[in-house]
Amino acid sequence: MKKRLFLSAGVLALCAVAASALAQDNKFRIGLILPMTGQQATTGRQIEAAVRLYMAQNGDTVAGKKIELILKDDTSIPDVTKRLAQELVVNDKVNVLAGFGITPSALATAPIATQSKTPLVVMAAATSSITQASPYVVRTSFTLAQAAVAMGDWAPKNGIKKVVTLVSDYGPGIDAEKYFKERFILSGGQVSESLRVPMRNPDFAPFLQKVRDLKPDALFVFVPSGAGAAVMKQFLERGMDKAGIKLIGTGDVTDDDQLNDMGNGALGVVTSHHYSAAHPSALNKKFVDAFAKANKGLRPNFMAVGGYDGMRVIYEALRATKGQGGGDALLAAMKGQIFESPRGPMFIDAQTRDVVQNIYLRKVEKKDGQLYNVEFDVIKDVKDPGKSQ
């Protein structure tokens, strides 16, 4: 018994030595947790491609540290995300956690960031409350509140008085519904019904039938990236456009990952969002071209830009801390970063650790034979409206 105790103490000591050797080697480890399979796989594919592009363009050595990317597939199951994060922190000694395709995955992992003092860079998930779940969360994606408020202001000024809302029934959908509704009603709009569809394996048909019967001026939609094409298809199949019902929403529904395959029925759909592959800047053109070249012609969507900018925030924090900082120093160096993204100007609000950025109004148009979200108006430097309460 004594001997066994002694042995396990020895093993433990060895582990501790190995762990501290790992922590002091010349590597900087990024634990990237993404949904690479399952319902949210397109989000994982887009972000992984963008992260690898950023590394290819900016090198894999920063402030004398070799960047090591450790990619894990959480299949968008929050319990799996959390377990993977724990393993990455304890076994791999990652310096930063990044990725997080959906809100429940980010929320499940936030306590691990807090306990281990590890910065957690949210590249996709977009419910306002995520940054409040841990002081170590930094976000480079967007919030649904940011995008939905812009549509709530635009719609009533453009002949849309009566709306039905249809959202995915979880964090970002509930935020989209709330912030759209609040602004829309403030300008005299009327929301006749608010419908919520299950997040997993949604069937939009019965909901769309209901919308058709209610005959609003427009249907406001939020569905997560990857589900937009199914909504569009069923909207058109039911002849809702011909019945005079417009489709509006946050830009998740006309996601650049799927938009070009949605067909001409998508023409004219107006959405509000922070990123379009058609954003007319030199930097974005370079980004879109390089991304397509490295990925068999794939067009980057708003998930990709969240991943790309997330890497920028991590690289610059490592540079600013000269490769010597722990989690707290890295976090401090992430706060307040200001730079030009392919989406336009953005910064990380030092108080909230959330992204401040332009929100654009865009209309689906054909350009060079392809469907794009063409920006026609902008609301500058939008802070997350979900932080004011």
Residues near ligand VNL (CB under 6 A) are 40, 43, 101-103, 124-127, 171-172, 224-225, 252
CA pair distance 290, 29, nearest whole angstrom = 25
Q: Which is nearer to ligand VNL, 62 or 195 (CB)?
A: 195
Q: Which of 102/330 has CB closer to ligand VNL? A: 102
Q: Which is nearer to ligand VNL, 67 or 122 (CB)?
A: 122
Strand pairing category for 96-99 and 137-139: unpaired
Q: How far is CA 18 from the centre of its chain?
A: 35
Whichever of 139 and 181 has its CB closer to ligand VNL, that residue is: 139
Within 10 Å of residue 293's Cβ, how many Cβ atoms? 11
Only one residue has tokens 């490592």, namely 318
Could you tell me the smallest distance in angstroms from the CB atom of residue 384 to ligand VNL? 13
Please identify which residue in the block is written with the tokens 């930097």.
283
Nearer Cβ to ligand VNL (127/254): 127
As measured in angstroms, the least distance from the Cβ of 172 to ligand VNL is 4
Q: Are 168 and 195 in contact (CB under 8 A)?
A: no
Q: What is the DSSP string of 26-79?
A: SEEEEEEEE--SSTTHHHHHHHHHHHHHHHHHH-SEETTEEEEEEEEE-TT-HH
Rounded least distance, CB 238 to ligand VNL, Å: 23
DSSP 156: G
CB of 60 to ligand VNL, least distance (A): 28
Q: How far is the CB of 220 from ligand VNL (least distance, A)?
A: 15
